Amino acid sequence: MNNKIENASPDAKRELEIPKLILAGMPDYFIAREGKEAWKDDSHPVYLMMNLDTKCSCNCIKCALHGRKREPGPPLTTQERTAFLDQNTATLGLKELVIIGYGEPTEDFGKVEPLIREAHSQGMGTVIFSNLGFLTKEQAEFFRDHEVTLIVSLDAVDENTYNFLIDPNKRKGMDLNKVLKNLELLKETYRQNNKTINEQKVVRLGINTTVCKQNVDHLEEIKQLVGRDMMYIANPPMREGNLTQKDRWNILVGNQYDYLAKRAAEVSQTGGHSSLAEGSCSYFNRGLSVDSDGELLTCGYAVNTAHSIGNIKDNLSPQQLKNIYRKNREVFEKYRQETGDEQATCPLRSKNFEDYCRRIASAHSKRQKENPFNILE
């Protein structure tokens, strides 16, 4: 026992003896595993975000993809997606696949399974966002055995609030009790899978809460479900998808955005986004994103940047993809410097998002044949 622990008070000693948690697939994980110098090498993308055309029985009021104005073209086939990974993972230096999808991966497991298998065969981990509504034991074991970090979307632990947030029209809705049982199943399945790197405990499970007016006073209750085998993440809403509708934004946020963002930062064990590093979200600052139809985006949620950058169906070479990655980073850095916007850690949550989209379009002007943005006031 080191002197710092030995001389601490009993309460402080218990806290110091608990190893720091790091979430597998996040920047802290790669820094712990490979060192700070390796992470500083920003010449290549670390993350590949892919949106899949998965179905979903929910109609979450906050959903950033459902209800969006851009209608994607015909979706990529499974073969096209796995071929992209096979051809580019090693050459680009990709380390982590991130699947956000249009829907729920446990409900449409057949769409995500082949991609996870391919990523795993390429030495990549996978990050998946899920509401666990259709999780089975077999799925949980598959996720565990294929290095999947699973981030569970959970915005309430009381049934009325949960049902309202997941489907305000009450047409469908998930069974909260089933979701909580599935969460325990997932924790039990993963329990022996945790590892330690440099005295830091690596976990592959997290809970993510979108902080809104309905749950802001109950965040600690949700956080209690995390324990020591999961990471708790909290974020303010982004004005995308369903929340481009003013009435829905007012219901969830109204004029309280700054307060909700403050509370999210206070309770989140990551201090903000799951992938926060160097003052920004690494999914887009250190990654490439592909929409369900192959359109390249700056982030899987930034659908307004489609039709500006490229499409993987165009058979872009690894060098072209690296150039796109670098150009996007240049745009983001200049955008942050010139706007001075503190919310620029995530442009989608920034008041200057429209400006950011225009800059991306201008940077990739060879493909800008029309204005694709459909920005809503």
- The count of other CB atoms within 10 Å of the CB of residue 33 is 17
CA distances (Å), origin 268, targets 100, 180, 240: 20, 20, 22
In sequence order, what are the beta bridge partners of 288? 48
Beta-carbon-side half-sphere exposure of residue 251 (alpha carbons within 13 Å): 14
Q: Which CATH architecture has domain 17-314?
A: Alpha-Beta Barrel (3.20)
The per-residue pLDDT for 376 is: 33
pLDDT of residue 172: 56
**pTM of this prediction exceeds 0.95:** no
For 34-58, what is each residue's pLDDT tens digit?
999 999 999 999 999 999 988 877 7
Give residue for tokens 């329990």: 191
Q: Which two tokens stand for residue 346?
A: 């995530």
Residue 370 has a pLDDT of 44
Hunting for tokens 């809104």 — which residue is that? 212
Q: Is a pLDDT exceeding 60 seen at residue 3?
A: no
Percent of the chain with pLDDT over 90: 58
Average pLDDT over residues 342-348: 76
Torsion angle (degrees, nearest 10) of CA 194, 120, 301, 327: 110
Find all residues with CB under 8 Å of 248, minimum gap 6, and list them: 61, 168, 242
Q: Quickly state the pLDDT bin for 122 (edges 50, 70, 90).
A: very high
**Per-residue pLDDT reduced to its tens digit, 275-290:** 888 888 899 899 999 9
Mean pLDDT of the chain: 86
Q: What is the DSSP letter of 57?
A: S
Query: How far is it, in rounded angstroms, from Cα 350 to Cα 100?
Result: 21
Beta strand 276-277 with 280-281: parallel, antiparallel or unpaired?
Answer: antiparallel
Residue spans of the domains in the chain: they are 17-314
What are the φ and ψ backbone dihedral angles of 70, each rounded to 5 degrees?
Answer: -70, 125
According to DSSP, residue 364 is labeled T
Are 274 and 204 in contact by the 8 Å Cβ rule? The answer is no
pLDDT at 359: 93
pLDDT at 351: 81
Contact 290, 98 (CB under 8 A): no
List the one residue out of 178, 104, 83, 191 whose CA is nearest residue 144. 191
* Closest of 99, 87, 116, 65 to residue 312, by C-alpha: 87
pLDDT class for 175, splitting at 50, 70, 90?
confident
